[in-house]
Structure 1
Amino acid sequence: MTRTGPDRPLDVFLHIPKTAGTSFNTLLSRAYGHSDTLHVPFDHLDDGTRALAALPSERQQALTLLRGHITHGIHGGIPRPVRYFTVLRDPASRIVSFLNHMAAEAAHNPTSDVPWLTSLRDWSDMETYIRQRPRQVDNYMVRALSGRDFAPGACDEAALEAAIATLHAMPAFGVYADINASVLALAEAFDWGVLPVLSRSKSGNPRRITLTDRDRAVLQDLNRYDQALYDTACALFRDRLAARPALRRRADLYRRLTPAVTWTETALRSLRHRSSNLRARRP
């Protein structure tokens, strides 16, 4: 599909938290640029309709990429082709990483009395946190891919089937456990025209939350639909990869370039930061 003219697609990145999103968004900035993309803030947990509607019509038509922690569904409201993609991760690992990320946020807000922040600073157990902020740890991947904002604890087979249907309809998707091959498959499917290598721009958050066996059992039971979606994604990804052995070999080659790409992007960010500071200091 062309990226110019009335039939140009709107590509939509359904960004699942804690799936290498910072590195992935850096790659997307290289692939799409900045002028014709829209990033939906984290607090707009919908299909992106509100953020898109807030733009002038000319800007809406010029967009080539919509990205953020958004859900499936915007294709029903715009007269353009829409192509979705995402990266999925093992639910238990993703949620543990998410909790530690948010615990770091809570530590930076020591005076806040927001209940879910307090529950992270004064961690007691998983069930207490779930009562404060359930949607983030309750089948979030099914929620995003199905586009269904089900009540806490109300995920069902219908939502899972809708999420799996979305997965099958994507030109390509990624799995965190095989991120190098994922990036290459996505770059080829969406014709990104950039070196398909992610930088390691973040070292991760310190482990602040320790889950007990009871906590893990609660998470496993609650996220059984996310687990089913992830298992389906892994099987489908393996099947697609098995049919393309050359892609695996190329992915392994590109993986070796990660340190060089990381160094380059870190240096570029530093130069941009210094340039911005110099401009700010000029009279």
Structure 2
Amino acid sequence: MTAERPFFLLHIRKTAGVSLRGLLANRFSADRILYQAHSLSGPQQPGGALFVTGHVGFDYAGTFPTHPTIFTVLREPMSRCISAYDFFQSHSEPFFRTLATELSADEYAARRRFQERARALGPARFLAEEEALARYWLANVQTRQLAGSPLSGLRDDDPRLLGAALNNLARIDLTGILERQADTLKLLGRMMGWGPLGPLPHLNRTPRSSQPELDPGSLRILRSWNELDLRLYEEACRLFEQRLAALPSGEDAAELATPIGADGFTPDQPLHGVGWHEREHHEGRWLCWNSAPSATLNLRAATMPRQFQCLLSHVFNEHTLNTLEIKLNERPLVLRKRAAEGGILVESDIPEGAWADSLPRAILTFQCPVMGSPHDLDTTSPDVRQLGFAIARLQLD
């Protein structure tokens, strides 16, 4: 895959698309990303973006100036359907305010009605009394999305949808299987030459429903509404197993590293490593929070640096800063920490023997045992992410 070939994550609802976006988007320059290509409040055409994702149909791939690498994930249809049914009943008012900026007026009203009626009626009555509404959001969703918008006028159980979806399935570079998460990431890492990927953070988790479990009659109805999805999923699993069996034996390629120049590394550059949240643009600069107690960052220098500097724009608390440890190529750094313009500057001499070859490759490991969420500090905050520190700049001299 060439570095300039765009990457299109076709995001089907409740197939871990938000988690995948968080894992993959950091691999691309921050100024060449288009999130939520379906949103009416932002740009919808890919233009020069290198990473694009959204709840759009397969035909959206045809809008790229250069044909993209296409990746999607399918989920066992009944599991996806039940997750969506619960998810659509769980929305808070802040979430609805966000939806109002993304969806058309009709779709927004439909999501409102879905929540209200499903909560009020329970599954059996809701599926019977609001069949058209329920089918729109729950019936053969994966097949309809892969069939694409040209066939959106067909009934959700029209067999022509399956034919189109199967044809497009064969044209997708990689269709992952949610239930085969580790193997999906292995195939994707190999295909893209990224080396090992994962673990996958679990974002946008569907809250546990307060409603009783679906009764057998409701499950039978939902299954009958997803016959095309069940057949599509079966074929996707067959192709997945075929792809996995053809995977060459041997170890994954070495993880990619971001070249670091005289100006150092800033999080708007591609970030190769694991354990990071999606980057944020805050007060005119990019920063990136760690998402796990152990996070890695892979860099490549042009010379043999002897000094390490890292500017942390934020830390969760003083204990976080005091317990933070950093290794470079498995060599512990003796850290000096002080207040500086824009945050806290962490410095260290680079120990002898840290560089193993003539092309210095720095695998930095950040050990951050103390983390917390903004919600811990302010219970009115909806941000429940686990955070430790945020990198704003890193320098190797």
TM norm. shorter chain > 0.5: yes
Q: Does 1:68 align with 2:54?
A: yes
Q: Distance in 2 between matches of 1:132 and 1:91?
A: 18
CA drift of 1:217 comes to 1.1
Q: Distance in 2 between matches of 1:192 and 1:35?
A: 20
Q: Distance in 2 between matches of 1:162 and 1:136?
A: 20
Among 217, 238, 241, the alignment partner of 2:220 is 217
Partner of 1:171: 173
Residue 270 of structure 1 aligns with an amino acid whose one-letter code is L
Q: Distance in 2 between matches of 1:134 and 1:205?
A: 22
1:173-188 alignment runs, 5 A limit:
173-188=175-190
Partner of 2:159: 157
Q: Does 1:119 align with 2:117?
A: yes
CA drift of 1:184 comes to 1.4
Partner of 1:14: 10
Residue 40 of structure 1 aligns with an amino acid whose one-letter code is Q
Change (3 A) 1:130 1:66: farther
Change (3 A) 1:101 1:274: farther
Q: Distance in 2 between matches of 1:203 and 1:229?
A: 25
Change (3 A) 1:43 1:30: closer
Partner of 2:23: 27
Partner of 2:65: 79
- Deviation string 1:44-63 (CA, Å, 9 cap, x unpaired) is 5xxx9x6117xxxxxx22x1
Q: Does 1:94 align with 2:62?
A: no
- Deviation string 1:137-167 (CA, Å, 9 cap, x unpaired) is 1211011111035347443222212211222
Residue 148 of structure 2 aligns with an amino acid whose one-letter code is G
CA drift of 1:234 comes to 0.8
Contact 2:18 2:203 in 1 (8 A): yes
Q: Distance in 2 between matches of 1:109 and 1:261?
A: 22
Contact 1:32 1:192 in 2 (8 A): no
Change (3 A) 1:37 1:107: closer
CA drift of 1:274 comes to 11
Change (3 A) 1:170 1:274: closer
Q: Distance in 2 between matches of 1:218 and 1:127?
A: 9
CA drift of 1:12 comes to 1.2
Q: Distance in 2 between matches of 1:261 and 1:212?
A: 38
Give the structure with the higher percent helix.
1
Partner of 2:44: 51
Residue 241 of structure 1 aligns with an amino acid whose one-letter code is L
Q: Distance in 1 between matches of 2:118 and 2:223?
A: 20
Change (3 A) 1:86 1:109: closer
Gaps of 5+ in 1: 54-59, 251-256, 276-283
Contact 1:146 1:166 in 2 (8 A): yes
Choose 149-158 or 85-94, whichever is displaced more.
Answer: 149-158
- Deviation string 1:18-48 (CA, Å, 9 cap, x unpaired) is 112232111112322432110116655xxx9
Partner of 2:301: none
- Deviation string 1:230-271 (CA, Å, 9 cap, x unpaired) is 010011111221233748x97xxxxxx99x974447959624
CA drift of 1:272 comes to 6.0
Q: Find the residue that maps to 2:30 and give its secondary structure.
A: coil
Partner of 2:345: none
Q: Distance in 1 between matches of 2:154 and 2:222?
A: 13
Choose 188-197 or 174-183, whichever is displaced more.
Answer: 188-197
Q: Distance in 2 between matches of 1:41 and 1:117?
A: 24
Choose 265-274 or 63-72, whichever is displaced more.
Answer: 265-274
CA drift of 1:87 comes to 0.5
CA drift of 1:223 comes to 1.0
How many residues of Structure 1 are paired with residues of Structure 2 in the alignment?
Answer: 251
- Deviation string 1:66-122 (CA, Å, 9 cap, x unpaired) is 101111112333431222110000111001111111211168899x99422211221
Contact 1:198 1:261 in 2 (8 A): no
Gaps of 5+ in 2: 97-107, 253-273, 276-289, 296-367, 372-384, 393-397
CA RMSD of aligned residues (A): 3.5
CA drift of 1:178 comes to 0.4
Change (3 A) 1:154 1:102: closer
Higher relative contact order (CA 8 A, sep 6+): 1
Partner of 1:254: none
Partner of 2:387: 270
Partner of 1:103: 89
